[in-house]
Structures are given as C-alpha cells and as structure tokens.
Structure 1
C-alpha cells in the first residue's frame, strides 16, 4: 500500500474511531449504530475524455454516506489524492456535520482523480460535464437526491458547468438550480457564501468565549475583545476568520502561511498583511513583525486562541506539547491528529472541533438550496414592509416625544434586511444553537471529556432518532 493510501486509510479510521468513542455514550443498539456508520451508496466510475489528441480515462467517485435525510450533500474535489477511502471518510463527516448544525441533509462527497493544473479550462469543463452526466445516469445528482458543492480544487465555475449539464439532461425539472450549491449569484447562488465558513468559525468561537465558567477554567476573560489570536492560512477561510476577529476587537498577534509566519505582540492588521503579501509575494518582512522562517513554529507562539485554517494534521504528537494557546478552533478539516487531540485535552486546552466549527459552508449551502426551491431571493418579500413599519415607528416616536431623530439614526433604523443580512443572521443563529447543544452534552454527560466526543454524540443521537422514526428497526 502506498503512503498516500495509508494516510487516507488512517483518516477514515480516525473518523470511525471518533464515532465509536462517542457511540458508547448513546442509548442505541449495535444495529442502529452500524447503520449510521455505514456508507449507503458508493459510485466509482471511469470514463474517457479526449484531451488534445489523446484519450484519457478519468477515475471519479461519488459517495452517499447516509439516506436518513435527503438529499445527500457534500463537495466535489479535484485532486490526485482522491480515492475511495478518502471520499468515504469525508462523506461520513458531512453526515455528522449536517446533523450537528440541524441541516436536514445526509452526507455525501465526490472526487475526480486529476491534477487540475495540468488541464486547460476547456478540458476541465469537458471532464466536469462528463462526470455530471455519469452522476445523472446513475441517479447520483438531483435537488432531492444528491446536491454537490465546491471543495478543494473546484469553485463556482465548476458548479455552473454541473448545473448546466444537469439542466440540459433534465429539461422539465423546474427545480434544476437546486441540484448544486456554491453557484455564482447570477446562476442562483446566495449572497454571503464566500465568507460563510470563516464567519461560522468566528460565531462558533465567540459563543465558546461567552461562558464565564469555561473561560475561568482557561484563565481568560469572557468575550472576544482583547484576546490574542493566531490564524494559520490566509486562504478564503483564514482571511475571513482573521478579519471578523479583528473587527470584534481581538488582537491578531500571528499569521502563518506555507512559506513562513509573522508575529507581533502589538497586533497585526490582516488587510495590511494581505497588501504586503500581494506586493512582495509573501507575508515575511512585514513592518514591525518578527519573522518565523518555519511555519510550524508559528503554531507554537504565545496566544489565547489558535485557529488552524489550512492543512490536515498540522498539530501532531511531536509538536502538541509545545502549543501555548488556551483554545484551538479547528477551521480546517482534521488539523489535529488523534494523538495531538489527547495531548491538548490533557493539557486543559479547549479544542473546538472541525465537525462543528467549519459547518458554516454547508449551513449557507442549505440556505442557497432553499432559495432555489422557493424561487425567490431572501428579503424580497419583507424588505420594504420592514422599512415602512420602521418609518411609522419613527413618526410615532417623534410625534410623541416632540424630538427629531437624526439623519444617521433614521438611516440606520429604517434599513430593511437584504439577502446577506438574513443569511448572516441565519448562520449566527445556527452556530450559537449548535454550540449550546454540544456544550450541554459536554458539561452534563458523565465521562465525556472533550467537545469532539460531545459533537459526535450530538450527531449520533439525532441520526439514530431519525432511523428509529423511519421504522427501519422495529
């Protein structure tokens, strides 16, 4: 077995291990637990595509992990690392993630085993469209069946190709737009999708910081303001996470990229660092900051909250003891190995697990799916009504008090909600409610020693009840 396969297998095994660790704290019998764990449907296809003057045979997958709720939901990645074990593990995580944040989907995941950098845009389009036609043939895509989304190596562009191919093969499906999420706004996408994961990370950690009892255990004050934060990765998730923390009054003391890290106890401005990075090609040598040549050392600097938002397994058994943070928020998928997880828990560090914390993306994908099914933009029905109501309230206040509201106050009060306001509000409510559910299990269930186990228990309980109510196990 190759090292790639070995690492993917261990990723799958670690998901199963976390599941079993949590399953012991649930009331379900082995039959239901085995059904929750099982991948329901696995599609492995090989199809020919003409690339230049040659015919290439492309290998691709789509896994539907759970059918306890439909449709299944999960991204499609383009990577040479794609194999069945990896896609199965990622699909399982999607099932549990959706359950935790109360999004009524089963988990799914897809992948095409290619290096997308080797192909022209035209060739990538041919591969994507052919993959979509294979999904249609096998009934592995549709608004009520299985709804893909972007993942590593894909973007809104690929989602547009998928939508167009599906719609051309299903010309009478009035809900065709809902067959995929992560689309451009003009193709039925939803405003707020780009920053959804980073904003969800911020809402989740902010909620964790709101409990006085928990903060006292860590020796920290309540709230975000003044807390020292290090973010690893300045991609889409890392940048938006850093931006929201900065705006909330946290102090960004460290930023880490693949080619090095910078640290400044007085705080960094993320937009200034981004401008410096575009100008120089990297974040090193930012004015006033200390350079750290080895990015791994950036994780070990002094801070209150460490947010790995880039790669898998960056905190492992060899460096976990050197982590100085009091909280670790897993914005990336699997940034801690299971050994590191145990070490950090023993040290009393509060780890907020990825299975909950980076669920902002799938939550807003759910909002996009609902928008496509309802065929109406969020805010269209209520925006003017709200503004007219607020206008009447201001008139009543002014006539009753004899005082005039200032223009700035009037403008602020009169604004009705746009789509992005409603999406952000829905995401905030989701992240707050879900964290409280997880924390209740963590604090009240005897023997549960970490939030990750509590999150898995939360997921298993919800999925198990669904299976019981379906009457599959009389």
Structure 2
C-alpha cells in the first residue's frame, strides 16, 4: 500500500471498528445486554515474546494468539506474519472469524494469530525456527490442537508455514491420531485438501456473482443482472486478489484495474491477470504493464471507473478520506476490515452495496473446515464413493442406450459416467455454502424493514446464532 495507508493501519483501532459494527447490529436483536457483551468480548488473549538467533546475535520476536469465542470448539483462525501486526489487529481479526464462521454455518469459534516480522527479512531456516518456536509456545499454553484451536494461513504465511506447524505439533504429541487436524492450509502431501489455496478467492467471486444475479438489487444501481460486462478493480495481487480476479474473469467479468503496494494499473478494455502476474514476477512491479495506464500510488487505482471494487489487501483502505472518490457501485470485501464504519455509512447512503468481509472472504475457512473434517475422518473426500458412482452411472447409461437404441459419443459418456473428485466435491460444497449464506443475509436485510446494510444483516444473523449456542451450553438462560 502507499505509505499513508500503512500509517493509517498502524494508527487505526481495528477492534473498535468491529465493535462499532457489532453494537449497531445488536440494536436489531433482543438479547440480554450481558450476553451481547460476552459475544463481543475476546475470551482469551495470549501475548508472548521469544528469542531467536539471527547472525551472531539474538532477536526478540513479538507474537500473539487470540481466541475470541469458545461458543463452538475448536476455535479457528489464521496466523499473520507482518511487521505491522499488533494486539488490536489480532483481536479484531479473531472477532471477525467468530462472526464469519456463524454466518456460513461452520461450527468453529473465532481465533487469530500474529507474528510481528517481515518474512522478507529472514532466511527460510530462520522463518522455520520462528514458526516452530511459535508453535511450541502455543502448545505449552494449550492454544493449539484439533479440538482446541486450529490455525491456518493468513497474510504472509502459507502451506510451507502450516507444514512446519503440523510437524512440530505431531512431534510434541506422539501417538495423537488426529494430530494433522491441528492446523489447516497444509500441503496435499501433509494431508491438506484440494482447492484450499484458491478457496478464499473463489468464494469472493461466487459472492459477487450471487450479488449481481439479483435483478431487483441491480436495477436500483442502474446495472444489468449478471457478471457479463461488469468492470472490476482488484486491490492486491496476493493469493486472495489473484484468485478473485481469475475466477471473476472466468465468470464473465472484465478486470480493468489492479492495485498493489508499488502502485496501480488501469485499462478500460481489460487486463490479462496472468500476464500482469508474470510481468510483476519479471520486473518486480505491476507498473508499466503494456497497454495499461500506471499510477504511482495504489489509492489512485481504487478511484478509477468500474462497477465493482474488490479490496483484497489489508484493513482500513476505504476511509472517510477517499470513499467519496470511489466510483464503483459494489464493494466486495476480499480483505478483512477494508472499509471503516464511517466510510461504509457514506457509501451506503449513496446507494452503493457493500458485500461484507465476514461473508465475502469466508471461502477460506469453509474449505479449512472441509480439510479439518478430512483429517479427523482420515479419508479423502470421494475416495470410497467415486468408483461406485462411476460403475452405477455406467450401468445406467448402458441400460438407457439398450432401451432407446441411441448411442452416446465418448465425450458424452465420459461426462455422465464420471464420479466426483475431491476437488469437485470441495468446490461444490464451497459454492453451496456461499450461495445459501448470501441469500440468508439478504433475506434478513429485506425482511427486517429496519436493517440498513448487508453487513448489519450479517452481524444480526451471526449474533442470533452465537446466542443460541451459548443458551444451548447452559451458559445463558
């Protein structure tokens, strides 16, 4: 991001913003004030420091793990590797995870972790040492485990770091049958799941596709239903932003702008996302991509002409200082907390739609849930049923052909007979989750008559579900 955006991140009160959204939504519920306070508060905040050898000396690393709510077990949330990470940010992200899981009906409580480092400043061996030591610290305080708290990748971390965590946890818990379920986002070779890496971006694209498919809502924005022809600007070309742009293009949208920390590019005729990705890999920057206009500051890219804006980088990117310059009619929050409460009020009053982060980027935790289930069951999805389905379908096709006398082509036979792979089952489950959850939120919004935004409706739904969980636990009457 531009330097002023980084400063805004450091000075922000992210958790307070999440609480503002919560308090606003709580007014549309009828729960006891004490119960609402319990739902809103972070249950456990673990801040710790540990030394690591660097060169000829030592460096002390600051780290956190926050378990926001244990209304469901285990708690779930990624680990962020960033020199900007702080306790307030980790608490806010943990809270969002609680509400996110409730919104998409995933039976986890919310958690989040953070390590205050810039991964680029460390060797692979140093990063491994930091990750393994972080894991040991969590184990010592019982802040990790397949039935306790399950980390996952986040900004600055990925499959490699998750494999180190899995190996460390398994080594310190010999004989534990479900040890691989202590972390998700693992490589396939370490019992990960197909489709996890692209899950968040795919979920963002499905959320947008579902939003723009509602003719009534699009008419109010002066847009035609469907993604075809919709112009999209994506902020962030990391895992979430790249896959969001890729799948939106596959669904028929046109990506006209891309923003990164070094600046932004824009071409009203559309950008080839893969070509931009390769250009950045070769030059170290998205700037000066052939045929595109370049902007020195990422923020300028956000303000160009488009129908849909996808902030998929960091929090607090859309504020009262720039929201009036945003020309998009739909904001789809691929990142966590990219829009401040004040900015959302301005945008919504102007008639725009914000697809809230708690729902929009829930694809990652949804597929992490599938991975966790796979680890507990110790069998890949589709392994026991795929061949049986194919044989059954083959028998059906043969029977139909013999009765009708019509012969199918080899391609037709193959498409009908084929049993579902793990990836296909994962993508199907993710799509079903995102579609059902969007209309659940929208119905809450439409049926209330008082609720003002989709985010408020999402919060209301989450609060109600979490309240029921506490009541079922006997904690609240």
Q: Number of residue pairs matched?
A: 472
Q: How do residues 377-456 of structure 1 correspond to structure 2 at under 5 angstroms?
A: 377-456=380-459
Partner of 2:123: 120
CA distance in 2, matches of 1:72, 1:398: 52
Structure 1 pair 409/449, CA: closer, same or farther in 2 (3 Å)? same
**1:211 correspondence with 2:223:** no
- 1:328 matched to 2:294? The reply is no
- Give the Cα separation in 2 of the matches to 1:319 and 1:220: 23
Unaligned 5+ segments in structure 2 are 1-5
1:23 pairs with 23, 26, 29, which one?
Answer: 26
Shift of 1:390: 1.7
The one of 49, 53, 66 aligned to 1:50: 53
**2:306 is equivalent to residue 281 of structure 1:** no
Larger mean Cα displacement after TM superposition, 246-255 or 209-218? 246-255
Give, in whole Å, the separation in 1 of the partners of 2:251 and 2:58: 54
- Residues 271-321 of structure 1 deviation map (CA, whole Å, 9 limit, x = unaligned): 233333334433333333333443322222222111111232222212211
Of 95, 98, 102, the match for 2:101: 98
CA distance in 1, matches of 2:9, 2:299: 23
2:221, 2:351 within 8 Å by CA — same for their partners in 1? yes
Is this contact kept in 1: 2:10–2:84, CA < 8 A?
no
State the distance in 1 between where 2:287 and 2:346 align.
Answer: 31
Q: 1:311 aligns with which of 296, 311, 314?
A: 314
CA contact (8 A) 2:9 2:316 kept: no
What is the rounded CA distance, in whole Å, between the counterparts of 2:214 and 2:190 in structure 1? 41
SS of 2:13 mapped into structure 1: helix
**1:407-429 deviations in Å (ceiling 9; x for gaps):** 22122222211111011011001
**Superposed counterparts of 1:33-432, under 5 Å:** 33-432=36-435
1:15: how far off? 0.7
CA distance in 2, matches of 1:182, 1:71: 16
Rounded to whole Å, the distance in 2 between the matches of 1:368 and 1:72 is 15
How far apart are 1:105 and its partner, in Å?
Answer: 0.4
Residues 92-101 or 292-301, more deviating:
292-301
In structure 2, the CA distance between the partners of 1:412 and 1:246, relative to structure 1 (3 Å rule), is same
Structure 2 Cα separation of the partners of residues 296 and 58 of structure 1? 31
Q: Tell me, in whole angstroms, the C-alpha distance in 1 between the residues paired with 2:125 and 2:296.
A: 39
Distance 1:80 1:92, change over 3 A: same
Per the alignment, do residues 311 and 465 of structure 1 end up closer, same or farther by CA in structure 2, a change over 3 Å counting?
same
Secondary structure, in 3 states, of the residue corresponding to 1:332?
coil
Cα deviations by residue, 1:185-221 (Å, 9 ceiling, x for unpaired)? 0101111011101000011111111211111111112
